[in-house]
Chain A
Amino acid sequence: MTVKHADLAEKFIADEPRTDWHDDTLWFVREKRDKAAHGLPEWEQLREWASQIKNNTLSNLSNYLKEFEEKAAANGIKVHWASDAKEHNEIIYEIILKHGIQKIVKSKSMLTEECHLNEFLQHQGIEVVDTDLGERIVQFRKEPPSHIVLPAIHLKKEDVSATFHEHLKTEKGNNDPQYLTEAARQHLRNKFVESQLAITGVNFAIAETGGFVVCTNEGNADMGAHTAPVHIACMGFEKLIPKADHLSVFLRLLARSATGQPITTYSSHFQKPRPDQEMHIVIVDNGRSKQLGREDFRNSLKCIRCAACFNTCPVYRRSGGHSYHTAVAGPIGSILNPNLDMKANADLPFASTLCGSCSNVCPVKINIHEQLWKWRQVIVEEGYVAASKKISMKGMSFVFSNPKIYRLLGKTGRKVIHFFPFMVNNKLNPWFKQREMPSAPKDSFHDWYLKNRKN
């Protein structure tokens, strides 16, 4: 493993006012989610329905996928299957070559981030223009998105202004979001008009109809998909739902959980290509079928990518999305990514306080915090934790199972903190970082209890 969450988080929190801003802003989004959720008396019922629909989907997925493929093909959509990221990228490259395409616009798709499509195409000399405002900002800066719904949430308007001044020749020092958004609107309208291929993600694909739904607030998916002569929609196979009626449950939950909006501005239902258009769907596995077989972790595949778990997470809010060094950050990313590469992502399940807030806000009731805890055990068993952690865990296990030693060490510890505070208040103690050590009580709880229990 080259980089770890803790090291990257340390860099992020070096700027304290910015860390506080990040923390407060995401908490504000979480509060908007609460307000929207509390506005519906049936909210908990909706979560339960969504969870059950997804459970049913996962339990009958192979049939649903065949049904979807058949219906989509009958509607004139070309369906492709990709076992992994490489196949996904190659399928898209082949379509590009076949049509001699040079101008590509792409709306938000976490799957294409997961597959590193942009980098792959860049190596072939092909440029992709990301059209979601936040994604365009980070693309100009050669950064990955730091949040799956709010890709540029780690940046301040001054940063965006400087980036746009460099790439779009906007006025230097003009930080007005209205002005900057207008500049992006004009710049991207030109890109839409000349586009030859539009790539989009998929929020929901419907087995019963062979159609799919794409949700945006900006309208960028529609501007691309209805303009370009070729449209490729990319989806992980878990985006499937059985029936069109089920869209009501998921669309009611998605935007409320994500940003507190009652629905996204645009919920576009694609059924057939335009008469002059070619429409493709790429269905991707990339480790998902393996995850489906892991009983403890399979229901991570119920995720609808709302990012409610990001916004509520005390670790995400104070460490930033880039510290997770993966396309999907946050609590959900920390239970999905170890499946993709356990060694490279062994640190992620430990980037959590296991407080359980993520599970409480999840609209499809994924037991995220329990899975984080279970991944820790798998990762330790597979030998992917640092030796120091392993030894200290063994040591703690020994201490905690020997009451006499535990009491002796507790007593010694309290004395040390009391008489020699410098022994713990120093840089060698990682618990001293960003914290004052507490003053030690005179007695342990055990001593106190023995003295007081008679009363």
Chain B
Amino acid sequence: MSARENILNAIAMNQPELAELPVIDLASTIHYEDSFIQFKTVLESIGGKVELISHITVLKDKLATDKTTGNFIVNTIEALGDVDKYVALLPVFDLEKVEKAYVKGTLGVAENGAVWIYESQMINRLIPFICQHLILVMEKKNIVSNLHQAYQKIDVEKEGFGAFVAGPSKTADIEQSLVIGAHGARSVVVFVIE
């Protein structure tokens, strides 16, 4: 018999009598009066920054200014202008030099400051992780109170990859001292469009 059959047989023999799944009652989970304020408070407590903007043109100007610095800036958002589609096939050696990336998020979660990003929004799975600084953009109406609501809105099977990103990369592995910028982005700013 193969390892697979051995394992599955042993499990089938040893597993207890069927226990029912619980019903997750969303009404009993936390709900925030102002989920934007909650989102901002939580994300800023874990090292991120949140800025409320009235229109996406503000970011267009910001991106244009960033591009004049000579740094490697990547834009993946159509509404901001030309999308750098070529990063999909860029070797990691070059991606490693990305200074800043502009990425659209699907939704934000007020209880923990996380933003969901689909692979298609990243263009290349590495972008939100390998860039030195990450700019996330999303709409205010897409902030939900908690993770249960978030999973109702996203479909984890829709694409090959997706992630919740909550603030900059961090570690406390040296004597529990918090250091921002372990392996991933050193800073995360979330622009929320009203």
Contacts and interface: CB of A to CB of B under 8 A. Distances in A.
A455 interface: no
Given A45-B28, A52-B21, A289 B151 contact: no
A287 to B, nearest CB: 10
Contacts of A264: 166
Interface in A128-163: 131-134, 137, 150-153, 155-157, 160
Given A219-B169, A269-B163, A62 B11 contact: yes
A55 interface: yes
B96 interface: yes
Contacts of A290: 10, 14
A271 B166 contact: no
Contact of A292 (B11, B113, B169): B11
B61 to A, nearest CB: 29
Contacts of B16: 58-59, 295, 298
B166 A211 contact: no
B33 interface: no
Contact of B22 (A52, A247, A273): A52
B98 interface: no
Contacts of B11: 61-62, 65, 237, 289, 292
Given A66-B8, A81-B7, A211-B157, A262 B111 contact: yes
B59 interface: no
Contacts of A266: 129, 163-166, 169, 184
Contacts of B183: 131, 185, 188-189, 192, 218-220, 223
Count class of interface residues, chain A: 35 or more
B81 interface: no
Interface residues of B, number: 71
A244 B156 contact: yes
Given A209-B156, A226-B125, A237 B181 contact: no
Interface string A354-397: 00000000000000000000000000000000000000000000
Contact of A134 (B146, B159, B173): B173
A222 B184 contact: yes
Contact of A244 (B124, B151, B163, B184): B151
A267 B181 contact: no
A124 interface: no
B79 interface: no
A273 B164 CA distance: 18
Contacts of A218: 169-171, 182-184
Contacts of A298: 14, 16
Contact of B161 (A56, A178, A249, A268): A268
B166 A53 contact: no
Nearest to A209: B157
A373 to B, nearest CB: 21
A408 B62 CA distance: 87
